[in-house]
């Protein structure tokens, strides 16, 4: 199973996106684990994660986060601002799956 972790400031916005991503994955028949957390909880939740998606407002922390998760070989990227702002779970899921391939 592919595991996707979303992180934002408090985990609220990413929680809404994760919920929509799970629905999109289910409608496609995909077995994907998708969780949302606060950016301060990343290292506690990184085991078994294939992709880490970061809220665009945390762009200033991206290099630091990538450095911290490097030993886990987790692919990391920012969620596109337009998808984050509109809580577009389908588009964010597509972003994550493309990064996994």
DSSP-assigned letters across all residues of 34-68: EEEEEGGGTGGG-TT-SEEEE-GGGGGGHHHHHHH
Q: CA separation (Å) from 68 to 2, 17, 33, 98?
A: 21, 24, 22, 22
Question: What is the C-alpha to C-alpha distance for residues 8 and 15, in angstroms, rounded to an integer?
Answer: 9
* Residue from 8, 54, 79, 92 carrying the catalytic annotation: 8
Does the annotation count 36 as an active-site position? Answer: no
Q: Which one, of 26, 72, 76, 25, lies nearest residue 46 by Cα? A: 72
Q: Which residues are catalytic?
A: 8
């Amino acid at each position: 199973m592919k595991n996707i972790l979303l992180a934002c400031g408090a985990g609220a916005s990413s929680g809404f996106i994760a919920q929509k991503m799970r629905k999109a994955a289910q409608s496609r028949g995909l077995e994907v684990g998708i969780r949302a957390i606060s950016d301060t909880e990343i290292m506690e939740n990184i085991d078994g994660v294939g992709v880490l998606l970061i809220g665009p407002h945390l762009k200033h922390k991206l290099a630091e986060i990538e450095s911290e998760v490097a030993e886990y070989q987790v692919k990391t990227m920012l969620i596109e601002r337009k998808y984050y702002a509109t809580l577009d779970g389908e588009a964010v899921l597509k972003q994550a799956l493309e990064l996994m391939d």
